[in-house]
Amino acid sequence: MLDKPSALPEMELPLSADPQRSFTLSSGYYTDPAVYEREKGAIFYRSWQYVAHRASFAQPGDYVTLRICDQNVFVIRGEDGELRGFYNVCRHRAHELLQGQGNVASVITCPYHAWTYEKDGRLRGAPNSGARPGFDKCAFGLRQVRVEEFLGFVFVNLDDAAESLAAQAGDLADDIRARVPFIDDLNSSGTRIADARIKAGWKVVVDNYVECYHCNHAHPAFASLICMDAYQLDTFGIWSRQLGDEIRIENDAYPVDPDDGFQGSAFWFLWPNITFNVLPGGNDLSVFSVRPVAHDMCDFDGDVFTADGVDRAARREYGANVLGPEDTALCESVQRGLRSMGYDQGPIIIDPEHAGTSEQAIHHFHRLVQAALAE
């Protein structure tokens, strides 16, 4: 783990336990590269990170790679049927072993010097190593990372001592199952959404995701689809939830067939950077991650799954061409603004009735960040 910076940015105004009197994290938490270096070890190398749906590992040798900040890992199905995760690096000279997603038919072969590994991580062959005195192949197997399935999705954690995701998340799985009855029927292949590079730090993007205080003004089509007057937001443990049970069939976002599947909306945030999302019309669910690249840059990527295999183009195009670009522009403007000498902290706006158009989940998220960086 990386050492803590000598001092975290000071906050003149308190990020207090009372959300109605609290202020945000100070701008230094978003603009100081030293804070991001601390976040790698304190947050991302200790948290559960989404990889793919378990069906992406249907056959022995099926694998998916994942980058967690500057750590590259992969998950692979072994010949014995077990899912295992490994650091994606050869134990000889550190060349990356696998790219993207695919299937290893026989052995994992390093492209550099042709060291080969079994699917369970054991070193199988190292050319010319027999001439090295005392060379022990058992000492150079791939280093493993933890793997866990959650709601049919595969996660990894670089911290061997971390509590299981199921235990950390509490009743999140039950809550999603209760509201998404089709979750076990999702199309196993899914549709992988290409990385969206955002010129804003990961916390700015999460801040934007967990509140809809901005939705009426900044997302007019979204607000015409989902009734903001009935929108609800709640926080729990390491997750939060936004519910829009009342929708408008006639709206400016995309056509909704009142007889087609789920007729509401639900959005879950799972600490530190995972989202589960259901929009009206059809039985679809998406899983997205906000993946840090630098203190002021991140990728937003994930998968969209459907229970009936239907591609609802109008809804997909609304997300890709309207809602996504709106949020990207907002986040990039905020990241620029955080460097202004005219800003440091802002007040958190709270509705005591937990209306979705207030910022209690911002407070919840900032307190989680604060607690993680203080450890």
Cα→Cα distances 244→204, 285, 357, Å? 23, 15, 11
306: its two tokens: 């459907």
| Paired strand residues for 103 | 62
Residue 205's pLDDT band (boundaries 50, 70, 90)?
Answer: very high
Burial classification of residue 317, based on how many CB atoms lie within 10 Å of its CB (0-12 exposed, 13-18 middle, 19 or more buried): exposed
Q: Which residues contact 161 (CB under 8 A, 6 or more apart)?
A: none
107-150 pLDDT tens trace: 999 999 999 999 999 999 999 999 999 999 999 999 999 999 99
pLDDT of residue 330: 98
Give the separation between CA 333 and CA 330, rounded to whole angstroms.
5
What CATH number should be reported for the domain whose range is 19-47+167-374? 3.90.380.10
- Give the distance, in angstroms, between the CA of residue 365 and the centroid of all CA atoms in the same chain: 14
Cα→Cα distances 172→68, 144, 246, 276, 281, Å? 23, 27, 22, 11, 23
User: Residue range 35-47: average pLDDT?
Assistant: 98
Query: CATH topology of 19-47+167-374 equal to that of 49-157?
Result: no
Select the CATH number that applies to the domain covering 49-157 from these four: 3.30.950.10, 3.30.43.10, 2.40.50.140, 2.102.10.10. 2.102.10.10
339-369 pLDDT tens trace: 999 999 999 999 877 678 899 999 999 999 9
298-319 pLDDT tens trace: 999 999 999 988 888 899 899 9
Give the separation between CA 241 and CA 188, rounded to whole angstroms.
25
pLDDT of residue 1: 41
Q: Cβ(233)–Cβ(242) under 8 Å?
A: yes
End-to-end CA distance of the chain: 12
Q: Name the nearest CA neighbour of 84 among 102, 60, 50.
A: 60
Q: What's the CA dihedral at 226, 232, 235, 236 to 10 degrees? A: -100
Q: Cβ(234)–Cβ(240) under 8 Å?
A: yes
Mean pLDDT score across all residues of the chain: 95
Can you give the pTM of this predicted structure? 0.95
Residue 192's pLDDT band (boundaries 50, 70, 90)?
Answer: confident
3 state SS of 228: helix
Residue 210 phi, psi dihedral angles, 5° rounding:
-85, 5
Q: What is the CA radius of gyration of the chain?
A: 22
Extents of the domains making up the chain: 19-47+167-374, 49-157
pLDDT of residue 2: 43
Share of the chain above pLDDT 70, in %: 97
pLDDT of residue 187: 78
